[in-house]
Structure 1
Amino acid sequence: MATHPQAPARLSFATRIFYGVGSAAFGVKDNGFSYFLAFFYAQVVGLPPAKVGLAIMVALLIDAFIDPVLGQLSDNTRSRWGRRHPFMYAAALPVAVSYLFLWNPPVGWSENALIAYLIVAAILIRTFISAYEIPSAALAPELTADYDERTRLLSYRFLFAWLGGLATYAAALTFFLRPTAEHPVGQLNPDGYANYGLFAAAVMFITILISAIGTHREIKRLPSAPHEKISLGRFWAEMGGTLANRSFLMVLGAAFFLAMAVGLGFAISLYFATFYWEFSAWQIAGFTGSSLLAAVIAFTITPHVASRFDKRPASLALVPVAAVFVLGPVVLRLLGLMPPNGSGTLYATVFAANVIGMSAATTAGILFTSMIADVVEDAELKTGRRQEGLFFAAAAFVNKAVSGLGIFGASLIVGAIRFPRDAAPGRVDPEILRDLALVYVPVQVLLYGLATLFLLGYGITRASHAETLRQLAARAELVREGAPTG
Structure 2
Amino acid sequence: MSVTRPNDQAAEQPPPLSRGTKLAYGAGAIANGVKNVAFAAYLMFFYNQVVGISAAIVSAAIALTLVIDAFFDPMLGRWTDMTKSRWGRRHPFIYGAAAPTALFFAIVWFPPTGMTDGQTGLWIFVTSILTRVSISSFEIATQAMIPELTERYTERTKLFSLRYWFLYIGQYGFAAFCLLTFFKATEEFPKGQLNPDSYLGFALLGSALIFTAMIVCGLGTHNRIPWLRQRDERAARPTVLTHLKEMGAAFRNRAFLAIFAFGVLKFTAIGLYSATALYFQTYLFGFDASQLALLTIDSVVAATIAAPLAPRMSAKLGKRTSAMLFAVVGIVVGLLPLILSYFDLFFVAGDAELLPVMFVIGAVYGAMIAISLINTSSMLADVVEDSAVRTHRHDAGIFFAASSFMQQCSTALGIMANGIILTWAAFPAKVGPDDVTEPMIDSLIAHYVPTSLGLWVVGCAFLFFYPITQARHERNLAILDARRAEAKAREADNNPTGAPMR
TM-score, with structure 2 as normaliser: 0.93
The answer for the alignment partner of 1:277 in structure 2 is: 285
Per-residue deviation at 1:427? 3.4
Per-residue deviation at 1:449? 1.2
1:336 to 340, 344, 347: 344
Per-residue deviation at 1:319? 1.1
1:1-24: CA deviations, max 9, x gaps? xx9943659532222101110110
CA distance in 2, matches of 1:358, 1:241: 35
The answer for the alignment partner of 2:55 in structure 1 is: 49
CA distance in 2, matches of 1:9, 1:306: 25
Does 2:435 correspond to 1:435?
Answer: no
CA distance in 2, matches of 1:412, 1:296: 35
CA distance in 2, matches of 1:102, 1:294: 30
Please identify the structure whose Cα radius of gyration is greater: 2
Does 2:30 correspond to 1:36?
Answer: no
- Say if 2:14 and 2:227, in contact at 8 Å, map to a contact too: no
The answer for the alignment partner of 1:252 in structure 2 is: 260
1:229-270: CA deviations, max 9, x gaps? 322111111111111111101112212222222221121111
1:342-398: CA deviations, max 9, x gaps? 112222222211111111111100101000000000000010100111111122233
Of 390-399 and 241-250, deviating more is 390-399
Per-residue deviation at 1:179? 2.8
The answer for the alignment partner of 1:85 in structure 2 is: 91
- Identify if the C-alpha distance between structure 1 residues 454 and 8 changes in structure 2 by more than 3 Å, giving closer, same or farther: farther
- Say if 2:384 and 2:396, in contact at 8 Å, map to a contact too: yes
Per-residue deviation at 1:145? 0.6
2:243 to 235, 239, 249: 235
Does 2:182 correspond to 1:176?
Answer: yes
The answer for the alignment partner of 2:3 in structure 1 is: none
Per-residue deviation at 1:424? 2.4
The answer for the alignment partner of 2:335 in structure 1 is: 327
Per-residue deviation at 1:426? 4.0
Does 2:137 correspond to 1:131?
Answer: yes
The answer for the alignment partner of 1:286 in structure 2 is: 294
The answer for the alignment partner of 2:397 in structure 1 is: 389
- Identify if the C-alpha distance between structure 1 residues 177 and 362 changes in structure 2 by more than 3 Å, giving closer, same or farther: same
Partner secondary structure for residue 456 of structure 1: helix
Partner secondary structure for residue 99 of structure 1: helix
CA distance in 1, matches of 2:371, 2:407: 14
The answer for the alignment partner of 2:214 in structure 1 is: 208
Does 2:357 correspond to 1:349?
Answer: yes
CA distance in 2, matches of 1:353, 1:122: 32
CA distance in 1, matches of 2:11, 2:415: 42
- Say if 2:265 and 2:410, in contact at 8 Å, map to a contact too: no
Q: Which amino acid aligns with 2:68?
A: I
Per-residue deviation at 1:401? 5.1
Does 2:203 correspond to 1:197?
Answer: yes
The answer for the alignment partner of 1:121 in structure 2 is: 127
Does 2:304 correspond to 1:296?
Answer: yes
1:36-61: CA deviations, max 9, x gaps? 01001111111110111111111111
CA distance in 1, matches of 2:13, 2:321: 27
The answer for the alignment partner of 1:95 in structure 2 is: 101
Measured on the aligned residues, the alpha-carbon RMSD in Å equals 1.6
1:29-88: CA deviations, max 9, x gaps? 001011101001111111110111111111111122100000000000000000000010
CA distance in 2, matches of 1:194, 1:331: 36
Partner secondary structure for residue 81 of structure 1: coil
Does 2:111 correspond to 1:109?
Answer: no
CA distance in 2, matches of 1:304, 1:86: 34
- Say if 1:7 and 1:143, in contact at 8 Å, map to a contact too: no
- Say if 2:94 and 2:137, in contact at 8 Å, map to a contact too: yes
CA distance in 1, matches of 2:352, 2:399: 46
CA distance in 1, matches of 2:291, 2:472: 48
Q: Which amino acid aligns with 1:356?
A: V
The number of aligned residues is: 481
CA distance in 2, matches of 1:339, 1:170: 23
1:395-415: CA deviations, max 9, x gaps? 223344575333222222111
TM-score, with structure 1 as normaliser: 0.96
Q: Which amino acid aligns with 1:86?
A: P
- Say if 2:49 and 2:429, in contact at 8 Å, map to a contact too: yes
CA distance in 2, matches of 1:6, 1:151: 21
Q: Which amino acid aligns with 2:454?
A: L
CA distance in 2, matches of 1:406, 1:285: 24
Per-residue deviation at 1:194? 2.3
- Say if 2:266 and 2:459, in contact at 8 Å, map to a contact too: yes
Per-residue deviation at 1:165? 1.4
- Say if 1:319 and 1:451, in contact at 8 Å, map to a contact too: no
Q: Which amino acid aligns with 2:482?
A: A
CA distance in 2, matches of 1:49, 1:256: 23
Q: How does 1:360-375 map to 2 (within 5 A)?
A: 360-375=368-383
CA distance in 2, matches of 1:6, 1:12: 17
Partner secondary structure for residue 176 of structure 1: coil
CA distance in 2, matches of 1:55, 1:5: 47
Q: Which amino acid aligns with 1:63?
A: D
The answer for the alignment partner of 1:405 in structure 2 is: 413
CA distance in 2, matches of 1:401, 1:192: 30
- Identify if the C-alpha distance between structure 1 residues 61 and 402 changes in structure 2 by more than 3 Å, giving closer, same or farther: closer
Extract unaligned runs of 5+ from structure 2: 1-7, 492-502
CA distance in 2, matches of 1:261, 1:6: 41
CA distance in 2, matches of 1:182, 1:39: 18
The answer for the alignment partner of 1:157 in structure 2 is: 163
